[in-house]
Chain A
Amino acid sequence: MTPALPSPARAPGGRHARNHRQGLARLWSLLWLPVVAAGLGGVLGVALSFAGAPSWEAEATVTFSPPSQDPLLFPAANPAAAARELADATALAVSEEVLAPAAAALDGVEDWTVLRDTVTVTPVPGSSVISVTATAPDEEAAAATVEAVVAAFAQAAREGVVEAARRAAAAVTADGATAGGEVVEDVLARAEILALSADPIRVLTTSPPEQTAPAPVRNGATGVVLGIILAAAYLAVRIARPSRVTSGSDVGELLQLPSGAIRAGQVVPGSERLIEDLQHLSAGSPARLLLVVPAGPASVGAAQEVAAVLRDTIPAHRVADEHVPQDAGGPAGTEGSGETWVQAAGDPTGTIVAPLAREATAVILAVQSGAPVREVRTAERLTRQWERSPDAVILMED
């Protein structure tokens, strides 16, 4: 029995395993950036959480009942005034009139301006609710601050209404002779009721203080999402940006030149005008050399094809063209021939193109459809170094 021959060395796992590994590699090539960015963002978010001092926030919601809107006292009240009175009340809540007594009621707060920086008062749009929040380094201080501010706010608002009622009563009493007895009595009665019943601020809720800093979980999650947004935006922009040339418009606008296109050895409809221009130019020129230059390695074949199509498309010059070498080289002898030559250069390097370009009637760049945009941009930069810039660009479509 002959011994079994050793089987040729094979990659472990077989074809399915290879496909699996390639699939994973492709997935990782797409996902590594979001994953790394999310990780870095999360770490930064957590680190940032511990960079600041601890902070607690307490919130109270109150309702504001504008005295002018009391239907019993003021049956003809203007409802439009309610919004303005709510705004006035909000401004009162963060004024010295409220914050100074609140600061006095708190231990460790020396000045009312300290409270101005830690207390936020926000009216809830479309309602008569006002939200009062206070921040402090610890839980107790936050709760005490919001309670002190709300109490001082209610007191100041009440005193304001009583003072307004008192002033109204005094004014109508002083003016009683002209106003008439019944009017005076009516106003005095309303003012007295208003002063007795005034309670424009009522506390709805007082939420227990919540710790707002440090918040490592929240900030870490924010960092993760920010990292993903950054990475996703990068990938989206990179993928959305076309990386290959697909149309005559692409090459024309990238190279800032008149453009045309050929397909399967024929001039694409819409590009005839460019060919007509080339015919016209070469006919009117004593040099009559059309130089076709590829816009990079991916377009070398396109340059040959474009040159061939130009020879076919300009029939009057076909015979002369047959004598022209098709690769890079020295200038063809055109002087005095009276014929047009079409020549394809090897690449857009200035040293190769320059001697030919000096002799040429027109220099035409050729671009292969699907060529990398980067390559075309490089060609555009190279042409800026030429003694003469190209005159047109032709795309060879697939």
Chain B
Amino acid sequence: MLLAVAGLAVGAGVVWGLVARPWLAPWAIIFLFGTTAELRLRVSGTLGVAKDALVLLLVVVAVVVVMQGRASLPARLPPLPAGLSLAVLVGLYLADLGGDHGGGWIFGTRLLLEPLLLLFVALMTPRSRAALRHLVLAMCVFLPAQAVLAWIQQAVGADALVYTWGYAFGSQVRLTSGGGLRSPGSFEESFSLAAFAVLGACVALTVASRRQAILLWVSVGAVLAATQVRTAVLQLAVLALLFLVRKGRILAASVGVVGAAAGAVLAAGVFLVSATVPGGPVRPLLFTLNGRLDAWAVAYQGPSTLLRGNGVGALGAGSTRAEAGLVSEVPQYDPTAESTPLYAGDPSFIDSSWGQVLSDVGLPGVIALLVFVVAYVRWMSGPARRGDDAAWLALAVLAVSVVDWISRTTLGSYPTGFTTFYLLGLATAAALVRRPDRLTLRPGRMVA
């Protein structure tokens, strides 16, 4: 009872704060999205809907803000090509040409729509530059805390995490092919923590102050060392290339791309080997991409897949949620059940956002997503050329996301997809809205 009252009080405070000061929303986003898994495990499984409630509240706040004239729709809405491609993608998901509008469709569509709603919410945030500063501050608090937690988890080891902390093997507790522990922090899986750290790297590289950047980079290094996610290293390489482009070193960036690609192919073809299923044959990483080639092949079920997809949520992420029900089961240690890790070839495991969209709505959806990315880059290239840090943050977030979407289903995923689109929208709004509040005559303007 006391807990419920306290929860209601906190909830009411959050609602009041968000309505009165929408630019404080990044604190709620970062802390709720980053701790939902732990809250569900420790407090109540139904807290999973808290994120949906927060998204709904933020949408209402955004609508109110627009109606009050505190944010301008014509100034902040994406240009026609980006908006149109998103509308086509949403239309394809709603139409579900290859499916039957079943349970998988509900969850598959919801998982896509909520991040897009967060993109809209972030775009319409009043005082977006202040909101971006709050987001950087929230990250500077949250990411170091995650780094500390991740290394505490490393210290206690996988057995204690399962039998004492109550985590589920195969969910929060995962091992590398070499047997090393991947720390989950307070997230549901280590890959989400690594993705959050990469977003922290984007912030550190672009909009953070010098001190904040140092703190964030140290935390990013610690988190990535504790999670041991290879894709994150690839994303950091992309960030390095973006940094070179920003500095005008296009040639160095090009050489870097070619060199890194050649090095990666060499390493993956000769030195790095893995088994795609436990006990299976060990093969060079280049020829299996750690089982992803098998997982991606699941998305393509024949020529009809290209035209209209297999149906939203028929395969991949939405299909598992449809089985789980409205409130999915909290991953936790259960002595009466075997762990059920997903392996390449499982129909609920596509492991690529591009593949997921192909499976859901077919090639038209993939093309729409691609057009969105290109149009968005073009949209942000204007402010980026003028040297706007926030525009470079938007480009960085987009760059690492495109890489992540190749090898993970994070486009419509919680919390990575949700956080990514919110950060993208906030950076965009901050890049678009640069007007000063007060009129000041700058030096050199006045003619005597």
Contacts and interface: CB of A to CB of B under 8 A. Distances in A.
A84 B338 contact: yes
A391 B435 CA distance: 10
A258 B74 contact: no
Contacts of A358: 447
B6 interface: no
B249 interface: no
A204 to B, nearest CB: 20
Interface in B343-383: 345-347, 364
B87 interface: yes
Contact of B77 (A45, A241, A278): A241
Contacts of B441: 281, 285, 361-362, 391
Contacts of B364: 226
Interface of B: 69-77, 80, 83-84, 87-88, 90-92, 95, 97, 301-304, 307-308, 319, 323, 336-338, 340, 345-347, 364, 432-441, 445-448
Given A234-B84, A253-B433, A122 B347 contact: yes
A250 B91 contact: no
B72 A274 contact: no
B447 A254 contact: no
Contact of B438 (A81, A213, A258): A258
B72 A237 contact: no
B307 A230 contact: no
Interface in A268-286: 273-274, 277-278, 281, 285-286
A254 B436 CA distance: 13
Given A237-B84, A361-B446, 4 more contacts: A78-B338, A120-B301, A135-B302, A252-B435
Contacts of A247: 69, 72
A192 interface: no
A278 to B, nearest CB: 7
Contacts of A359: 447
Contacts of A360: 447
B70 A249 contact: yes
Given A212-B302, A232-B91, A222 B307 contact: yes
Contact of B72 (A84, A213, A252, A392): A252
A71 interface: no
Nearest to B338: A80
B72 A250 contact: yes
Contact of A287 (B307, B308, B433, B446): B446
A120 B97 CA distance: 22
A238 B80 contact: yes
A245 B74 contact: yes
A257 B433 CA distance: 9
Contacts of A83: 338, 340
Interface in A82-101: 83-84, 87, 91
B323 A126 contact: yes
Contacts of B448: 286-287
Nearest to B85: A233
Contact of B439 (A126, A135, A248, A392): A392
Give the 4 A-B CB pairs with smallest separation, nearest first.
Answer: A233-B87, A253-B75, A247-B69, A277-B439
A236 B301 CA distance: 32
B120 to A, nearest CB: 11
A285 B446 contact: yes
Nearest to B83: A237
Contact of B434 (A126, A250, A256): A256
A245 B69 CA distance: 11
Contacts of B307: 45, 48, 219, 222
A274 to B, nearest CB: 6
A278 B433 contact: no
B75 A258 contact: no
B339 to A, nearest CB: 10
A17 interface: no
A227 B76 CA distance: 28
Nearest to A246: B69
B361 to A, nearest CB: 10
A365 to B, nearest CB: 12
Contacts of A52: 303
A83 B348 CA distance: 14
Interface in A45-63: 45, 48, 52, 55
B306 to A, nearest CB: 9
Nearest to B346: A87
Contact of B435 (A45, A237, A238, A259): A259
19 contacts: A45-B307, A48-B307, A81-B338, A84-B338, A84-B340, A120-B301, A222-B308, A225-B95, A226-B308, A233-B84, A237-B80, A249-B71, A253-B435, A256-B434, A256-B435, A258-B438, A259-B435, A277-B438, A391-B441
Nearest to A219: B307
A253 B303 contact: no
Given A248-B69, A252-B72, A229 B95 contact: yes
A273 B439 CA distance: 9
A60 to B, nearest CB: 17
Contact of A257 (B319, B432, B435): B435
A242 interface: yes
A125 interface: yes
Contacts of B84: 233-234, 237
Given A238-B80, A287-B446, A391-B441, A229 B74 contact: no
A373 interface: yes
A388 interface: yes
B91 A213 contact: no
Contacts of B69: 246-250
